[in-house]
Chain A
Amino acid sequence: MTPTQVDVNFRLCPTTKMNLFQSVTSALDNTLASDPTAVIFGEDVAFGGVFRCTVGLRDKYGKDRVFNTPLCEQGIVGFGIGAAVAGATAIAEIQFADYIYPAFDQIVNEAAKYRYRSGNLFDCGNLTIRAPWGCVGHGSLYHSQSPEAFFAHCPGIKVVIPRGPVQCKGLLLSCIADQNPCIFFEPKILYRAAVEQVPTEAYTIPLSQAEVIQEGSDVTLVAWGTQIHVLREVANMAQEKLGVSCELIDLQTILPWDTETVCKSVAKTGRLLISHEAPITGGFAAEISSTVQEECFLNLEAPIARVCGYDTPFPHIFEPFYIPDKWKCFDAVKKLISF
């Protein structure tokens, strides 16, 4: 069931100061209010969730709409698929993206293929899966992962990652409204750190549309989630220290991704840098790089640079060395310019 979409210029609506987890709560609040079939479930969501994303919702909407599941990811997603197929707007929470793998089979083999294999007779488009994502400073092997690349390889689902509270609420509401099963990764390090004025009413930001956050003429920088803020700093450093003008693009939707915006930008600048925390081999930057070289081969002035995590498990004590920080990215920009 689709909630009513609010198609306004949301930047003109009344707003409240919210951090990232509050923007999630706001989106879920809007959904539960407007869609009587919406239910939220997952581990510990009832008291508000380990990251406070569902605070107050159970009290407001009742315990049959916001409820806990036992500790069983495969069960949570399988159950969510069933609820979605039967007509409920099912919003499942996986406590950390690192724990999503027991549910991998359900997502890839069941959720993604439901519409296709039934010839459009059935679908689980009402399903949205939310999970905290990315490094947090001390998460180590199993509380820091960015698994978007595993799911990018699966036609039939959508994968979305916001960079801040305003995008988070709009994109989450779009995922919930979208007629396909969606996975929504929330950068956990930004839950408290990112604060913005966010519209209190419901609004959507379109999926599969990348956003050009900053225009530039010399280098295209592409990232998503937390890494956008790193690249923003890199763009400033490049302007100040090298006089280089960078165009910064937030991909927002990983699958299906906005090839047009990225290629248009690279056609203009001739240089591309993609950055993500996930390991470099087989990371999503590889897909972007491959497509861009196909489309913009003759526009390229330098090889496409990817600044990513090392090809190792996400480390315990080595995290500061592992992550693609601003210095590594800045270095890559310098090399792009001087190729």
Chain B
Amino acid sequence: MQKMLTIISNVLRGSARRNGAQVVSEGASLVVASRSYADFTPEATFDIKKVDLHRLEEGPPLTSTLTREEGLKYYRTMQTIRRMELKADQLYKQKIIRGFCHLYDGQEACAVGIEGGITLSDHLITAYRAHGYTLTRGGTVREIMAELTGRRGGIAKGKGGSMHMYTKNFYGGNGIVGAQVPLGAGVALACKYLGNDQLCVSLYGDGAANQGQIFETYNMSSLWKLPIIFICENNQYAMGTSVERSAASTEYYKRGDYIPGIRVDGMDVLCVREATKFAAAHCRSGKGPILMELQTYRYHGHSMSDPGVSYRTREEIQEVRSKSDPISMLKDRMLSNNMASIEELKEIDIAVRKEIEDAAQFATTDPEPPLDDLCSHIFANDQPFEVRGATPWTKLTSTS
């Protein structure tokens, strides 16, 4: 039985190119069909935490219904993000990844929950802690890891690195704090203008919440009723500065002032999903922007140069890990409601581990981009043109 599950899963995974999550759940339900379907609960409804409201009469529902397929999908995606980030940590310490690397482990419920509340035809933009979003928005682990190591198979052809990853309807990956938020408003304007019922999710952190351009964006998007969901991923620390030390008001969901806001438990993927669905409905009904604060936590430091324990205690990190870990929370829910077996989840873990290993192997062995790429894509050019180089007689040709 066990072997059959693995064989079928492998065959299905081998034929698919992307989005392993879909494949596993298909594989799983296929096997279950031949096993005994009645063994697993197909769906269950869970109570979720009430959200805090600002300028809203009603908020998202207090319960969330999760199907088995969704549960397995979220589990696999969150586990993939978790293992991918830990692998990046390992590769960074081996100096295979260099430069800046901001890891997302601990915050998986945010990326996965948000994606659960919108569709791939909606738009999303975030800051530099972007590996998780690159995955949920359609990137593959292989492309992400190869981008971290700066190889030609990377999602940005090796030219961007950790902070600059992009896919369709995902605008990065941005290094300058807060700069991505006005961009998100522009994307939202385009959605409204084109009348395609799409919206834009603009994310920023608790540190960025103090940037002036965010308030400029609040004003413009409210004035013009743009379909934008502002999301403040509050992980309690802006690098090493806690929220109490940097913000006059730590109620980030209220700082949009005239923009309605909700404050959500960002460690619970179902909370995030319901809140995002609620926010999306708000935008799509033409009411204009809405602000969501996700209270979440990152296990790693700000970046790989930050041990993460000089401004917070190891006990604090341990406590969050044991009490509020998003993956454990989902796993417990599914197991205690008989929505999955522990073996099944272990299989997913093994499959994820293998996927990450393969991706790391690819990322380490893929060749670096050719030197000509140094000068490519500076401008959009019809004709190749010469780019002046370090000395008067060195020129490279820029092609686009």
Q: Which residues of A contact B (CB under 8 A)?
A: 43-44, 47, 50, 68, 70-72, 74-75, 98-99, 101-102, 138-143, 280-281, 303, 305-313, 315-318, 321-325, 328, 331-332, 335
Stretch at the interface among B6-14, B352-360, B385-393: B385-393
> What chain A residues lie within 8 Å of B239 (beta carbons)?
43-44, 50
Q: Is the CB of B176 within 8 A of A140?
A: no
- Give the interface SS of chain B, mostly helix, strand, loop or mixed: loop
Asked if B161 is at the interface of the complex by the 8 Å CB criterion, the answer is: yes
Residue from A142, A143, A322 with most neighbouring chain B CB atoms (10 Å): A142
Q: How many Å from the CB of B332 to the closest CB on chain A? A: 36
B residues contacting A by CB (< 8 A) are: 98-100, 150, 158-161, 163-164, 175-178, 207-208, 210-213, 238-241, 245-247, 310, 368-369, 371, 373-375, 378, 387-394, 396
A72 and B211 within 8 A (CB): yes
Q: Which of A71, A303, A311, A312 contacts B210 (CB 8 A)?
A: A71
A190 CB to nearest chain B CB (Å): 18
Contact check: which of A101, A307, A313 meets B391 at CB < 8 Å? Answer: A307
Interface contact A71-B159, CB-CB below 8 Å: no
Given contacts A68-B241, A70-B246, A307 and B212 within 8 Å (CB-CB): no
Q: In whole angstroms, how far apart are the Cα atoms of A47 and B389 in the complex?
A: 41
Q: What's the least CB distance linking A282 to chain B, in Å?
A: 11
Q: Which of B163, B213, B390 has the most CB of A within 10 A?
A: B390
Q: How far is the CA of A139 from the CA of B177 in the complex (A)?
A: 16
Give, as a whole number of angstroms, the nearest-CB distance from B344 to chain A. 40
Which 10 A-B residue pairings sit nearest by Cβ, starting from the closest? A317-B150, A70-B210, A142-B175, A316-B161, A318-B374, A138-B99, A71-B207, A138-B98, A70-B246, A328-B390
Given A312-B374, A335-B393, A72–B175 Cβ distance below 8 Å?
Answer: no
**Known pairs A68-B241, A332-B391; A316 contacts B246 (CB<8 A):** no
Assembly CA distance A92 to B184 (angstroms): 30
Q: Which residue of B lies closest to A139 (CB)?
A: B99
Contact A280 B210 (CB under 8 A): no
Residues of A within 8 A of B240 (CB): 44, 47
Which listed residue (B161, B210, B241, B394) contacts A317, Cβ 8 A?
B161
Distance from A21 Cβ to chain B, minimum over Cβ atoms (Å): 15
**Inter-subunit contact B388/A316 (CB<8 Å):** no
Instruction: Tell me the complex Cα distance, A309–B98, Å.
Output: 21
A72 to B214, CA, bound (A): 11
Q: Shortest Cβ distance from B210 into chain A, in angstroms?
A: 4
**19 A-B residue pairings within 8 Å (CB atoms):** A43-B241, A47-B240, A47-B310, A68-B246, A70-B247, A71-B208, A71-B211, A72-B210, A75-B212, A138-B98, A138-B99, A141-B163, A310-B389, A312-B375, A312-B387, A317-B158, A321-B374, A322-B374, A335-B393
In the complex, the answer to whether B211 meets A310 with C-beta atoms within 8 Å is: no
B1 CB to nearest A CB, Å: 47
Asked if B387 and A311 make an inter-chain contact with CB atoms under 8 angstroms apart, the answer reads yes
Give min CB distance, B186 to chain A, whole Å.
Answer: 18
Residue of A nearest to B152 (CB): A317
Taking CB atoms, residues of chain B closer than 8 Å to A309 are 390
Contacts of A306 in B (CB 8 A): 392
Give Cα A149–Cα B129 distance, bound, in whole angstroms: 31
From A44, A50, A102, contact of B213 by CB (8 A):
A102
B393 / chain A contacts, CB cutoff of 8 Å: 335
Are A316 and B150 touching (Cβ within 8 A)? Answer: yes
Q: What is the bound-complex CA distance between A186 and B208, given in angstroms? A: 25
In the bound assembly, the distance between CA atoms of A233 and B387 in angstroms comes to 27
Are A140 and B392 within 8 A (Cβ)?
no
CB distance from B205 to the nearest CB of A (A): 9
Query: Are A72 and B371 in touch, CB under 8 angstroms?
Result: no
- State in angstroms the CA–CA spacing of A303 and B393 once bound together: 12
Taking a contact as CB atoms under 8 Å apart, the answer to whether B208 and A143 are in contact is no
Known A280-B390, A312-B387; 9 more pairs at CB < 8 Å: A44-B241, A72-B212, A138-B98, A140-B163, A141-B175, A142-B163, A312-B375, A318-B374, A322-B374
Partner of A281, one of B178, B208, B374, B388: B388
Interface pair A140/B246, CB less than 8 Å apart: no
Please, which residues of chain B bring their CB within 8 A of the CB of A332? 391-392
Interface centre among A72, A280, A306 (most CB of B within 10 A): A72
Give the one of A68, A303, A313, A315 with max B CB within 10 A: A315
Closest chain-A Cβ to B308's Cβ sits at a distance in Å of 14
Q: Nearest Cβ in chain A — how far from B89, in angstroms? A: 16
What is the bound-complex CA distance between A75 and B158, given in angstroms? 35
Closest-by-CB residue of A relative to B369 is A317
In Å, the complex CA distance between A139 and B371 comes to 19
Distance between Cα atoms of A277 and B241 in the complex (Å):
32
Q: Bound complex: CA of A303 vs CA of B391, how far in Å?
A: 12
Q: Bound complex: CA of A280 vs CA of B395, how far in Å?
A: 12
| A76–B181 CA distance with the chains assembled, in angstroms | 20
A280 touches B388 (CB 8 A): yes
The chain A residue with its CB closest to the CB of B177 is A71
B29 → chain A closest CB, angstroms: 42
When the two chains form their complex, are residues B371 and A321 in contact, meaning their CB atoms are under 8 A apart? yes
Residues of chain A lying within 8 A (CB to CB) of residue B378? 311-313
- Closest chain B residue to A313 by CB distance? B378
Q: Is the CB of B391 within 8 A of A331?
A: yes
* Residues in A neighbouring B210, C-beta threshold 8 A: 70-72, 75
